[in-house]
Structure 1
Amino acid sequence: MESVKSQSYDVHINELAEASLNQHVANRDYSKIFVLVDENTKTHCLPKFEKIFQHPIDAILEIQSGEENKHIHTCLQLWEDLSNLGGDRKSLLLNLGGGVLTDMGGFVASTFKRGIDFINIPTTLLSMVDASIGGKTGVDLGSLKNQIGVINQPEMVLIFPEFLKTLDQRQVISGYAEMLKHGLIQDKEYWEDLTEKGGFTDASCIQRSIAIKNKVVLQDPTEKGLRKILNFGHTLGHAIESYCLDNPDKKTLLHGEAIAAGMVLEGYLSHELRGLPKLSLDEIKKGFSKYFDKVDFTTDDIEAILQLLKYDKKNSHGNVNFVLLQSIGEAVTDVKIPEELFHKAFAYYKE
């Protein structure tokens, strides 16, 4: 299957991924090779990876999985581990895991010794179609998502859909939310294919999502304009995710579950402010309801979620900026929302 060419690196799939990795390492004189895993990928993915990788591994670094561990204290431990194990500027870090691990591993590599090479090997659907492209690295600040980080590109990204067989269905469906988003913001036909036919774990669908995100990132690598459309659903979605993560009385949501709710809510705002047809809005809500359970929000929950919007990293000059849809497949950026519409959006979501 054809590779996707991004800014300074390629995203390789299946056999091309295996060959490209081994050739790359053979052509570089790396002083040390480290593999970063969590307890899940250590058990389910590392043995498969070791059969693919033809070079010696100097050390396996392990972190605990989960968004609650995506913070600077984990990075401190990894920096210390790299230093104690003799890591230097000619070392390579291979990040074998989901979006939390590749985000954090990329950040650790980008800042250790002022930057060492890293390669991302995403093992979840979410990380394959989202975190694999764009070079965003970083960690959370408390429960606030992705507040600390840098944009820095990996040497390459390697996609092995085989790893998806190690996931439970909830994790797979979480990644599906980002694929649906790609259709909503850029490709109506892709949205229709996904909602009508499914097949979202097929390598061809994964490649199509990667290509859509890559096309956007190539035009705006540092998120000055067009790249903002990738945040559709994420302004309210991140606030929902942070609130549920920080509130012991609420069920912790996976990223895709929170973003799915965010896209329905921001779809309603799109209908009110940008003329998204009501039929399209209802189609979006129906599309997500096929795969994602409705989240129960009380009045107090909604107020707390809206308070978290002020911490969104896309804010500018004190304004909360939203990405909305004019139609399915066409997004607009930097829209400001009248406060009373938020409550109407939640009311529509709860219907």
Structure 2
Amino acid sequence: MTQPVLSEELATAGTEAAVRARSSLALAVARLRRDKVAVVSLVVVVLIVLTAVFAPVVAAITGHDPNFQYRDDGLSPDGLPVGPNGEFWLGTDRLGRDVLVRLAYGARVSLVVGLLASACAVAIGVLVGTVSGYLRGRTDLVLNWVIDLILSIPFLLFAISLVSLVGPSLKISVLVIACFTWGPIARVVRGQVLSIREREFIEAARSLGGTRRRIIVRDVLPNLVAPIIVYATLLIPSAIVFEATLSFLGLSVTPPTATWGNMLAEASQNALYTVAWWIVVFPSLALLATTLAFNLLGDGLRDALDPGASRRPGRLARTVRRGRKRAERARAAAAARDGEAH
């Protein structure tokens, strides 16, 4: 009579062992794969990255250079841009240039600035936040003053002042964006470090004679990987929007280099978008799709890396609970039969 109970218990134990055997990374990947919105966002991000990487291939397929002015075929007899057609799939701009090819090359600038600026901002924010949260005292006070100072400086005013001195360039865009986006992540990391440094394993590392540097590198930073990844993913779209803003104002790369921001700026000249809607709609859609995809992907990563943020229990957790319930019912039925036999 105890055989069914033993089999149920063994099955439950095997399921629990399978759950424990999977690493936290594997569980995060499994949760991310079940999030359909995050998967679709990841696909969109990959497509945008591939478009930027293979922009020369797009130009070769269409047979159009991003900066060449096709005045014979790309402009109407009145000198206006032509709409989407068989030769120019997304139409042309005010100079007769192919909008599709310029969008592909503009994606390169946006992604390069977004990734580089986000990487620099994350590196600075993690360094400042970790040092501030772990050392505390006067160091924490001074670094908090620095963070407050950075957050209080007007972004566009500083950018305009800097560009007026050294001129617009891609490096200046990355520098300005990185300087004004590391403050929030430093505060997030500081709060996490203040919580981690009071835990038992940090106290044990101190009691074993671990140096501050060793404890920070070996014990503190590995516990910050998840929030850093999530925040970096959410920071990229902000950097892309900042770059588009600088380009729109003429503070980023100089024309004729294509960026989504200067494409929108050109569309606004003389209200050209009122007669050629495609020159403002397609760059706007590209900017919207990119920022929205990165934001949704960041939300999905947050839910996947933080099990407590999951909206519903995973499949493995539900399997374990069902196995426990079956084992409890089997034990109760066995106990009832034993009682009747006695």
TM-score by length of 1: 0.22
Larger Rg: 2
Greater share of strand residues, 1 or 2?
A: 1
Structure number with greater CO (CA < 8 Å, separation at least 6) is 2
TM-score by length of 2: 0.22
Greater share of helix residues, 1 or 2?
A: 2
